[in-house]
Structure 1
Amino acid sequence: MEEKFEYIENAEQPIAMHPKKFALWLFIVTVVMIFASLTSAYIVRQSEGNWLEFDLPSIFWYTSGIIVLSSITLHWGYLSAKKDDLQSLRTGMIVTSALGFAFLVGQWYSWVALVDRDVFFVGNPAGSFLYVFTGLHALHLVSGVIFLIIVLISSFRYQVHSKNLDTMEMCLTYWHFLGGLWLYLFMFLLLNH
């Protein structure tokens, strides 16, 4: 039997994604599902009554500005990496890492402000939900800051440049996601507290 092979022009290529990027997207979907279920539970529990009314700490506005600014500086670092401007890449990574740390410090001070207003983790569910939202987001942000530092160290080892952007792109995706997640949570809390 003779086999016949034909060359097909414009054959469709299978959709391919770097395995680590695929794993990151799966993780992001998981986090979205967690926070979607928490915000749904918040709305359901709030409708049952016995809900503490309090103002959100004003520091949330500052931390929101910090997270937006950090996304801008990280994107600047990414664009610098695409142009092989390693000094600007490193500067962007250092500034973004510092802003990420500043956000975490701001979250700590928001908890201090909540305690000063007699809003605690235990007691009324309104306070409990707020601590869970901010604490769970802060936990993910710690992993994001660690990721930023890994990319920063890689940039000093000349491992991030225009021909090797996979890790940088994953870091960018994750950080932008965390920023968007915080803005969603903050708007949700503003509209539903």
Structure 2
Amino acid sequence: MSVVLVFLLVIAGIAGWWLLNQGVMSKPWLEHGPAGALPEIDVTGMPTAKIGLGVFLAVVGCLFALFASAYFMRMELSDWQPLPIPRLLWLNTGVLVLSSVALQCAVVAARRGQIDMVRLGLVTSGFTTLAFLAGQLAAWRELSASGYLLVSNPANSFFYMITGMHGLHIVGGLVALARTTAGAWGKYSPDRLRLSVELCAMYWHFLLFVWLAVFVLLAGWAADFIDICRQLLT
């Protein structure tokens, strides 16, 4: 349960920081302008799409926290045999970081009205994300070729399950990214394009954070981190 609490505290801290930066503490009753001028804006001044995505990401964070908790509890049993982490995962991590950086550059460009840079950032992020997924599949093949099959050991099963679940969320994000990229060459208005790019960036930054946490967990460093947190809390 300590793993879940630590993970949820981190998620809550990031969410609180993000909400403050999005203007959740603003006072809309002090704003001037006709009522209904911004139909897609919540009373907090934040687009409802961002609020909905934030709730969804919180649920996804809880899901991965439960996976981490189950991972720690299962590894205490005698039949647990940790598998080696493929070196390819380091490269995949770097590729995912590049994808997130490209989307952040697209956000900055969208706010400045630089449509060419937005397109470049979206395309770059799409290709690097596909490269990340291809690298994950290659890591799976490398492990299976070395005899680390799905049913060989509980540690193997957890590895494939957690990385596979993360990959599925990446695939889902690619659908939204493809629509946003098509809109950048289509008839999206500047405001709609900016919001769509910001939503994609939110999703990618979150999945990058989740992947870093998963990587730390699978590499065996999470136990030391939890021990440090316990000492700080006590």
TM-score of the pair, normalised by structure 1: 0.88
Cα distance in 2, alignment partners of residues 92 and 26 from structure 1: 26
Q: Find the counterpart in structure 2 of residue 159 from structure 1.
A: 188
Cα distance in 2, alignment partners of residues 42 and 81 from structure 1: 40
Distance apart, 1:158 and its partner CA:
4.5
Aligned partner of 1:115 among 128, 140, 144: 144
How many residue pairs end up in the alignment? 184
Q: How does 1:9-28 map to 2 (within 5 A)?
A: 14-28=43-57
Q: Find the counterpart in structure 2 of residue 148 from structure 1.
A: 177
Distance apart, 1:144 and its partner CA:
1.3
Cα distance in 2, alignment partners of residues 111 and 53 from structure 1: 15
Letter in 2 for 1:133: I
- Asked if residue 170 in structure 1 is aligned to residue 199 in structure 2, the reply is yes
8 Å CA contact retained: 2:183, 2:193: no
8 Å CA contact retained: 1:84, 1:162: no
Name whichever of 161-170 and 115-124 sits farther off: 161-170
Cα distance in 2, alignment partners of residues 50 and 190 from structure 1: 18
- The C-alpha deviation readout for 1:129-152, integer Å capped at 9, x for no partner, is 000011000000001111111111
8 Å CA contact retained: 2:83, 2:156: no
Aligned partner of 1:48 among 63, 74, 77: 77
8 Å CA contact retained: 2:150, 2:160: yes
Q: Find the counterpart in structure 2 of residue 132 from structure 1.
A: 161
8 Å CA contact retained: 1:78, 1:168: yes
Look up the SS of the partner of 2:166 in the other structure: helix
TM-score of the pair, normalised by structure 2: 0.73
Unaligned residue ranges in structure 2 (runs of 5+) = 1-27, 32-42, 223-234
Look up the SS of the partner of 1:49 in the other structure: coil
Distance apart, 1:192 and its partner CA:
5.2
- Asked if residue 102 in structure 1 is aligned to residue 131 in structure 2, the reply is yes
Unaligned residue ranges in structure 1 (runs of 5+) = 1-9
Q: Find the counterpart in structure 1 of residue 117 from structure 2.
A: 88
- The C-alpha deviation readout for 1:42-61, integer Å capped at 9, x for no partner, is 00000122111321111100
Q: Would you identify which runs of 4 or more consecutive aligned residues in structure 1 move more than 4 Å? A: 10-14
Distance apart, 1:161 and its partner CA:
2.7
Cα distance in 2, alignment partners of residues 84 and 73 from structure 1: 16
Cα distance in 2, alignment partners of residues 188 and 170 from structure 1: 27
Distance apart, 1:12 and its partner CA:
6.5
Letter in 1 for 2:52: A
